Amino acid sequence: MLPKRFFSPVNILTALMMFVLLFPKLSLIQGLSGFPTPIRIEDLLIAIFVLYSVYLTISQNEYREKFLKIVKLPVTRLIFMWLGVATLSTVYNGFKTYEWGGLFFIFRFIEYTVFFFLSALFVSSWERVKKIFVYISLSSIPLSLWAVLQLMGILGGFGGGFYGYTYIFGTDRAFASFSGPYELAGFLIIIIPLTFAMWVIESRGWLKKALLVSLLLTIVALGMSGSRFPIIASAFSIPFFLFVQRDKSFSLKVIAVTLLIIIVPPMVSKSLVERYGHISQGVGNAVELATLVPSPTVTPLPTMTPTPRPTKTPSPVPQISITKSSNAGGSPVKPTIPEATSKPPETNVPTTSVTTVVVSGVDETITEDMKNKPAVTNTFISDAIDAIAEKDASLYWRLKETWPRAFEAVSQNVWLGTGMGSLGIGLDSEFVTLFGETGILGIIAYVVLMMVIGYQIIIRVRKSTDERQKLIITTAGIILIALLVNGIFVDIFRASKVAMLLWFILGLIFSNNIIDKKKD
């Protein structure tokens, strides 16, 4: 029989976090009317543990006193403030549109941030924090191996999007137990600095070697995700470790890991090199990255003449509906032509030529109609975006198709936006999406929250006298920097596995009893 301490709240919480990371997202209840977000297995487990935590907080003075201290933290108050603004925006727009699906998005964000309170409540020693960080670091080994086997075509996975998952077998971008490559990459840019710090701190030989293996596999898996910006974010954030320790040995390790992040991913992912090549060509970079692999095949498709929908004022631009795919690769799908109406076709309707750039089996489709769409009025900027479209469809999609939707939303309500979930699953930028959904008040509240978290981490680093504690706290700051940089091009703070892990780690750092005179 297992000892009673095995079922302590902190052990159950750690096991719950590991389950969230390792288990695929499988929906238990899907398709509730008006509510797009499903109920998954981990949602039920989290709800049960939250109820258990409430019981412990009410019944035991130790937890009740600590919870009251956690509530008074500046970070906690700002979390409540931001959630309050997001809820106000969603409810206000719900009364205007009679659509209440956005409330489930609010519940999702509450579910993410609840890990901050749980880890801060139940973890109170640096020794425990260190153990939990080691467990999380080692969890990346099976996930990284899963990514490798996935790219080799040996294993599949349940992916395809935020809320609809199908079993996918055979892909050029790995995603393991996550909903897509972007979320796997977000998880890995958390794991890389975390594993590096644990590898530096750990003194036991066998565990130190295991952490090194985990670190190397994580960097390989990052490349296999085929995600460019997470690699940039990771390589940008790791050097911040140099602000904590500047001895020669540590500095060389930081530089070595940074170089590995830059060099290894393109070596293990052909599609990643090609996508980097597109960017370098688009900005006139002299480095011929695209020559490392065969050039992408450009295949012009037959010219199509669509029949436009009847409108009061005929538009010179054919009405072509562009939708974003929900496959694991995340690439735009081909345009679909509306069905013909009873109205006879107009004469002199401009034709639309379609060019498909085939990159590692993924079609990145760009149409002349998309290029001519007047989403950006500034001629210089519009021309620059069109030039980008020649090389990079995903970046072009953001600049001219998704991001302008946020500004359209804000134009309807400057202060509160159009409510959570009103822009779909996201606009490929956490900040742009939040700006459109919650307006000026929401984005200000969120930015202030992130700034205060960063400031509080700096204060804790300066107050800490133990080098290992200082390194662990710095790791949380570096993780936050990496995710913020990645958030420019990815809706990463609403990816459930990444968001839960981030708030779990921040809760460990902000625990009231954690900065004390206790030594490991």
Residue-level pLDDT at 353: 45
d(CA 209, CA 215): 10
The SS3 of residue 243 is helix
Mean pLDDT for the stretch of residues 513-520: 48
Burial 273-306 (b: 16+ CB within 10 A, else e): bbbbbbbebbeeeeeebbeebeebeeeeeeeeeb
Q: What is the pLDDT of residues 148-196, one digit of tens each?
A: 999 888 988 887 655 556 777 777 889 999 988 999 999 999 999 999 9
Give the mean model confidence (pLDDT) for residues 236-262: 94
pLDDT surpassing 50 at residue 374: no
Q: How many helices (H) and strands (E) does the chain have?
A: 18, 7
Q: What is the dihedral of CA 369, 389, 178, 483, to 10 degrees?
A: -130
Q: What is the mean pLDDT of residues 38-59?
A: 95
Domain ranges of the chain: 4-272+423-510
Q: Which residue has the tokens 């954030």?
A: 237
Contact (Cβ atoms closer than 8 angstroms) between residue 331 and residue 176: no
Summary mean pLDDT of the chain: 80
Phi/psi for 146 (5° steps) reads -60, -45
Q: How far apart are the first and last CA of the chain?
A: 29
- Report how far residue 371's alpha carbon sits from residue 319's, in angstroms, rounded to the nearest whole number: 13
| Reported confidence tier of residue 39, pLDDT bands at 50, 70, 90 | confident
Mean pLDDT of 198-217: 96
DSSP secondary structure, 95-113, as one string: HHH---THHHHHHHHHHHH
Q: What is the mean pLDDT of residues 119-133?
A: 93
pLDDT digits (tens, 9 = 90+) for 92-120: 999 998 888 889 899 999 999 999 999 99
Which residue from 450, 451, 461, 445 is spatially nearest to 509, judged by alpha carbons? 461
Write phi, then psi, for 285 (nearest 5 degrees).
Answer: -70, 135
- 3-state class (DSSP) for residue 119: helix
Write down the residue that tokens 């991913």 correspond to.
265
Both tokens of residue 94? Answer: 């719900």
Mean of the pLDDT values across residues 53-65? 95
Residues 6+ apart with CB under 8 A from 78: 445, 448, 449, 452
| CA dist., res. 450 & res. 473, Å (int) | 16
Instruction: For 387-408, write each residue's pLDDT tens digit.
Output: 665 667 777 888 888 999 999 9
pLDDT at 416 exceeding the cut of 70: yes
**Percent of all residues in the chain with a pLDDT value above 70, rounded to a whole number:** 72
pLDDT at 26: 83
